[in-house]
Amino acid sequence: MQMNKIGIIVNPLKDPGLLYLNEVARRLEKADFTYAVSCCDYESKEKYPFCSAEECFMGARLVLTLGGDGTLLRAAPYAARYRVPLLGINLGHLGFLAEMERNEIDQLAAILSSGYQYSERMMLNVQILRNNCCCGEAIALNDAVIRSRIGKPAHIVVADDESDLIDYFCDGFIVATPTGSTAYSMSAGGPILEPRSRAIVVTPICPHTLGSRSLVFGETLQQIYMKVTNADLIQAHLECDGAEIGVLHNGDLVCVSRHDTPLQLVRLHNKSFFKVLNEKISRRMS
């Protein structure tokens, strides 16, 4: 294994001239690191031999993401599969998940040479079950979302292994990790969870009743099942971290459980989660 290999996932929409990629590559070369660059769905005649995401992660001691939170979310399932830590460099606006800003790239080589710590983040296994067979699955760092393609409300029944727990009549439904609790779930009125916890929060989107609220499930709940009883009528579909997983039909079950392997996110600053959250939210409002 090449322990001096660094993987780089770059989003060309955030780095259209690849200027930041050039800067990162130059600094890695100067510090005697090798690197592999992956750029999904992007053809380039630049000097970099772009490889697949799998090749980027295999044998890497760490993978950098150059982009926004969406770039890191796309890299997260590979990072969990190959057990490689991720370090996000924010080229976007908010960057909840990123640990470095673009103006800190000059510190990168020193950080990689001196060592770093990381925090573990729980991820979700998400499956669509149809006639007891899996017809769609994904790993999510933030959330799984059920909603209608045509803007009609959904009737969603939430259950565990033993019985139905609650049903919602709402515009959509979010199942979020603690990391995802500061994303879509928060915007829908859900609670914020400490990111190192292993709780799961379910949040209805615009519920059509006065008493519908988010629910938080602890570790004792192993799996959550959701069924959209009017799925065909409303053209329901499932998304994970913003990517579509599949269309839902009447009788389908969406099964959500905790993924066996947590994501390792590199941490460079000794700031509390809630202090960082306050800073990011203040930046959004400015």
> Which is more confident, 17 or 56?
56
Report the CATH number at residue 81. Answer: 3.40.50.10330
* Residue whose token pair is 């997983």: 245
Q: Residues 148, 91: one domain?
A: no
Q: Is 284's pLDDT higher than 60?
A: no
Q: Which domain holds residue 151?
A: 124-258
Model pLDDT, residue 209? 84
Residue pair 141/151 in contact (Cβ under 8 Å)? The answer is no
Q: Residues 130, 228: one domain?
A: yes
Q: Residues 161, 279: one domain?
A: no
Adjacent-strand bridge partners of 143: 176
Q: Residues 117, 146: one domain?
A: no
Confidence of residue 286 (pLDDT cuts 50, 70, 90): low
Q: Residues 87, 41: one domain?
A: yes
Model pLDDT, residue 187? 93
Q: Residues 108, 168: one domain?
A: no
Lowest mean pLDDT among 25-34, 48-57, 152-161, 238-247: 48-57
Question: Does the annotation mark 260 as catalytic?
Answer: no
Tell me the average pLDDT of the chain.
90
Report the CATH number at residue 140. Answer: 2.60.200.30
Per-residue pLDDT tens digits for 37-88: 998 655 554 556 688 999 999 999 999 999 999 999 999 999 999 999 999 9
Helices (H), 83-203: 108-114, 184-187
Which stretches does DSSP call E strand in 56-207?
62-67, 86-90, 100-101, 117-121, 124-130, 133-140, 143-148, 154-159, 164-170, 172-176, 200-205
pTM: 0.90
Q: Residues 67, 116: one domain?
A: yes
Q: Please name the helix (run of DSSP H) or strand (run of DSSP E) that holds residue 8, with its range, or none.
A: strand 5-10
Task: Point out the catalytic residue in the list 69, 143, 171, 241.
Answer: 69
Residue range 121-137: mean pLDDT, rounded = 97
Q: Residues 203, 223: one domain?
A: yes
What Cα–Cα distance (Å) separates residue 110 from each residue in 33, 59, 92? 12, 21, 23
Q: Residues 128, 243: one domain?
A: yes
Q: Residues 162, 270: one domain?
A: no
**Number of domains observed in the structure of the chain:** 2
Q: Residues 247, 157: one domain?
A: yes
Helices (H), the chain: 19-30, 53-57, 69-82, 108-114, 184-187, 231-234, 273-285
Q: Residues 97, 75: one domain?
A: yes
